[in-house]
Amino acid sequence: MIKAVTGTRDTLPTDIPKWNFLESIVESVFSKFNYKEIRTPVFEDTNLFARGIGESTDIVGKEMYTFVDRSGESITLRPEMTAGVVRALIEHSLDKKQNLNKLYYMGPMFRQERPQAGRYRQFHQFGAEALGSNDPLLDAEMIIMAYDIFARLGLKNLLVKINSLGVPSSRENYKKILRDYLQPYFEKLTSESKKRFDTNILRLFDSKEENDRKIMEDAPLLIDYLDDESLRHFEKVKEALLASRIPFEVDAKLVRGLDYYTHTTFEVVSGSVGSQSALCGGGRYNLLVKELGGPDIPGIGFAAGMERILLACENENSFSVKEENLDLYLVAIGKGLENFIYSNAVNFRREGLSVDLDYLGRSVKAQMREANRTNSRYVLLIGGEEFDRGEVVLKNMGTGEQKIFTKDDFEKILLTVKEN
Ligand code: ATP
Ligand code: MG
């Protein structure tokens, strides 16, 4: 038997309502903040990600689904959306049409990671990017939107962590200080951290290795070496979060490791999903658009993992979705009524009712069971003596009440079902 590829998952009909609910909240919150949806291709030129995410990151280093297509081009399934959104902005000169572009997206992403709870190879993210302004209020806006979405989902066990990575000039100076601090411990570092020591030294704060963590415990912190402008920017972000009643914590060890990140970085972590606890992450990237060949405009964004969010919701039992129901189930009593029933079903559907009928030649009892299983609000009983008299019986499944109609009273039946 052929099975779904490792790390990919089917979303079965029974799971769809909660996905729909999540998607509707995402759309609703983003549109209240005036973000417009953008959709970009699922695959892109590999160079876009190599340049846009950075060669020294885990994503580019070991997680991308990259292949050469039949025309010899190197293609990569998108591992995240920021690069694609920025490419689209540049390609369509969106920045020339309006100075600030506030965009959001939702869709599948692909990374070849070790599958585990909350970590898949095809997973889904929603996220937002605001391109064209360095206003710290936008940094705060990203965090507020993420938080509001989580709150609307009923999630409680949340921690918002924020930090500032400042600007490259003060960061370069700090990197030297960090390097000096780490030099004596170099031989004790894990091989991964040794590599990062040269390529992306800030990422050593991300190490999960106990020994690395001990060494990093007393390391000098970037936040203590920030320039005045960066500090002012960070203060304004914090003020806006306080004013919007977002509980947060400054985590001076939160680094997101990309060289183009500037100023704010943040993460929202859930206490309800075990070790894969980050629900979303984001930050300001004032150098990225230019790095990708576009104009010198600043940007900020975040991305959130939808599977992880739904896992947290399940574990906290944070919301329940209404059971799906049908308006009307047409029950056939006896044979020979197929044409009448079928054309009525089609007409009721065209008038806006959700309607189903039996396609399996089942007994009346089995059809009634099916009406119950599909949570039908009404059943229309067609056939038997009543039908011989030119009548059909409409049963309200909630109250048990039955009403008789003449069999051609389509409008009246429609009205009754629609009214309740
Ligand atoms: P992690 O540290 O968990 O690997 P990350 O830093 O790689 O996360 P981002 O690239 O910032 O994650 O992506 C944003 C969000 O997307 C994450 O916070 C997480 O919720 C989700 N996410 C990332 N990778 C996966 C994955 N393989 N499966 C499911 N969700 C994921
Ligand atoms: Mg990752």
Task: Work out the mean pLDDT of the chain and round it to a whole number.
Answer: 96
Residues 6+ apart with CB under 8 A from 232: none
- Nearest ligand by distance to the CA of 118: 1
The pLDDT of residue 266 is 97
For ligand 1, the distance from its centroid to the CA atom of residue 278, given in whole angstroms, is: 7
The pLDDT of residue 395 is 98
Helices 338-350 and 410-419 pack at an angle, to 10 degrees, of: 50
Q: What is the mean pLDDT of residues 347-367?
A: 98
Tell me if 278 CB under 6 Å of ligand 1: yes
Q: What percent of the chain has pLDDT over 70?
A: 100
Q: Is the pLDDT of residue 187 over 90?
A: yes
Q: Is the pLDDT of residue 420 over 90?
A: no
Tell me if 368 CB under 6 Å of ligand 1: no
Residue 277 Cα: closest atom of ligand 1 = 3
Q: Is the pLDDT of residue 206 over 80?
A: yes
The pLDDT of residue 278 is 96
Q: Is the pLDDT of residue 347 over 90?
A: yes
Best of 112, 113, 122, 308 for a ligand 1 pocket test (most atoms within 8 Å of beta carbon) = 308
The pLDDT of residue 14 is 93
Distance CA 360, CA 270 (A): 47
Q: Is the pLDDT of residue 22 over 80?
A: yes
State the number of CA atoms in the 13 A half-sphere of 248 facing the CB.
26
Q: Is the pLDDT of residue 83 over 90?
A: yes
Q: What is the mean pLDDT of residues 20-25?
A: 98
The pLDDT of residue 204 is 94
Tell me if 125 CB under 6 Å of ligand 1: yes
Cβ-based neighbour number of residue 215 at 10 Å = 19
Q: What is the mean pLDDT of residues 141-165?
A: 97
For ligand 2, the distance from its centroid to the CA atom of residue 112, given in whole angstroms, is: 10
Q: What is the mean pLDDT of residues 113-133?
A: 96
Q: Is the pLDDT of residue 400 over 80?
A: yes
Question: Going edge to edge, which strands form the sheet with 43-45?
Answer: 43-45, 74-77, 66-68
Tell me if 120 CB under 6 Å of ligand 1: yes
State the number of CA atoms in the 13 A half-sphere of 348 facing the CB.
29
State the number of CA atoms in the 13 A half-sphere of 23 facing the CB.
12
Q: Is the pLDDT of residue 258 over 80?
A: no
Residues 6+ apart with CB under 8 A from 204: 178, 182, 189, 193, 196, 197, 212, 216, 219
Closest residue to atom 29 of ligand 1, CA basis = 119
Distance CA 348, CA 342 (A): 10
For ligand 2, the distance from its centroid to the CA atom of residue 58, given in whole angstroms, is: 7
Distance CA 37, CA 50 (A): 25
For residue 94, which amino acid is it? Answer: L
Tell me if 416 CB under 6 Å of ligand 1: no
Q: Is the pLDDT of residue 257 over 80?
A: no
Residue 206 Cα: closest atom of ligand 1 = 2
Least confident of 22-26, 40-44, 208-212, 226-230: 208-212
Return the closest-CA partner of residue 29 out of 146, 169, 121. Answer: 146
Task: Specify whether the CB–CB gap between 140 and 240 falls below 8 A.
Answer: yes
**What residues form DSSP beta bridges with 366?**
none
The pLDDT of residue 136 is 98
Confidence of residue 256 (pLDDT cuts 50, 70, 90): confident
Our measurement of the distance from residue 119's CA atom to the centroid of its chain's CA atoms, rounded to an integer in Å, reads: 13
Return the closest-CA partner of residue 383 out of 354, 369, 363, 400. Answer: 363
Q: Is the pLDDT of residue 346 over 90?
A: yes
Quote the pTM value.
0.94
Tell me if 78 CB under 6 Å of ligand 1: no
The pLDDT of residue 323 is 86
Residue 308 Cα: closest atom of ligand 1 = 20
Confidence of residue 374 (pLDDT cuts 50, 70, 90): very high
The pLDDT of residue 208 is 87
For ligand 1, the distance from its centroid to the CA atom of residue 87, given in whole angstroms, is: 21
The pLDDT of residue 324 is 87
Confidence of residue 55 (pLDDT cuts 50, 70, 90): confident
For ligand 2, the distance from its centroid to the CA atom of residue 308, given in whole angstroms, is: 13
Tens of pLDDT along 155-177? 999 999 999 999 988 899 999 99
Q: CA dihedral defined by 240, 241, 243, 246, rounded to 10 degrees? A: 170
